[in-house]
Amino acid sequence: MSNYCRADAPGACYFFTVVTFRRWNILTDDDSCVWLRNALSNTRKRYPFTIDAWILLPDHLHCIWTLPENDNDFSVRWNGIKRQFTKSAKDSLHKPEWLNASKQKHREGTIWQRRFWEYQIRDKNDYQRHMNYIHDNPVKHGLVKAVSEWPYSTFHRYVNQGIYPTNWGGNKLIQDDDMDYGE
């Protein structure tokens, strides 16, 4: 059995990558967006956190969260989000033919990969690098030519706040070939 070492600094800021099982392109479907929004809202009521950045792509998502002071349990939050989404989507998205022995043993559905990737943000430069990576991700994956064209992103919030210009991104901004973003 694998023994994963997770970051655990209370009140810290974290970058996450969460992927669908078999990279299934479902997350930007209308129903999936509603289920995910509801799962996030319900989880945040029970276990508060701040969403600093978010990008939703068809088969994965990236986000940056800041946890409350004296709280380091992002796993319980992801567990809640994934569980609630799966319950909402079960009749529509359950794939019994994808249930292998491992998924049955761990009582998992067929929507999410088992784990997620997390990274603790170190400083302001690291934060900005990850913010840029998140917002440029649909361009990186060839889904749009301009960041502003992708609707499932906090980029639009930051444009409205004057933090990013509308025409930001899409021009090979991410040069960190040595960085691992959990893709």
Q: Which residues are catalytic?
A: 152
Roughly what angle, to the nearest 10 degrees, separates helices 74-93 and 30-46? 150
Q: Evaluate whether 19 touches 60 at the Cβ level (below 8 Å).
A: yes
Q: Do 158 and 164 touch, CB atoms closer than 8 A?
A: yes
Of the chain, the end-to-end C-alpha distance in Å amounts to 23
